[in-house]
A = this chain, B = another copy of it.
């Protein structure tokens, strides 16, 4: 439907505008009015698509996570190198710059439902990851003396820690190499004794 399509586009334009302004100005200074203007719609229109600025952030925090890991399921062979590759590709794809990353973090932290969403996202990701981790434990790729859940949690910490420290730093080195290196250490840490 033409109507339907247009709505989708408007929604996308608003999200893009938000990302653009968060990158330029940060979370708080990027007001709903400014976002709407940048998206080429009226302020009221913003609220036809997102009940609040908070809801927008909830939506946007999806950028932090993907479920690409699902692709690895049911394929045989050693997992660790493929996970490493996966991480590299994921990080490479989403172009989070530092100010945007900070803005997203900030938006998430000051917002109860973002918190809930965050945990849902991590939960869903865990669902995908857990069987793979267990399989890797069986294969002897990963140490068996830690529960898979804990290992997944450690992976998340590694991920967000890298993201956070990177985003807070002044320089402009790319995230991808840093993330890759960090996960190298991580995989070494969780290798069997």
Contacts and interface: CB of A to CB of B under 8 A. Distances in A.
Interface of A: 26-28, 102-103, 105-106, 108-110, 115, 118-119, 150, 153-154, 156-162, 164-165, 168-170, 181-182, 185-191
Chain A contact residues: helix, strand, loop or mixed: helix
Contacts of A158: 157-158, 161
A159 B153 CA distance: 14
Contact of A28 (B110, B164, B170, B188): B110
Could you say how many copies of this chain the assembly holds?
Answer: 4
Given A102-B115, A119-B168, A188-B189, 6 more contacts: A28-B110, A106-B110, A156-B165, A185-B190, A187-B189, A188-B190
A154 B185 contact: yes
B189 A26 contact: no
Contacts of A109: 27, 102-103, 105-106, 109
A110 B27 contact: yes
A162 B168 contact: no
Nearest to A109: B106
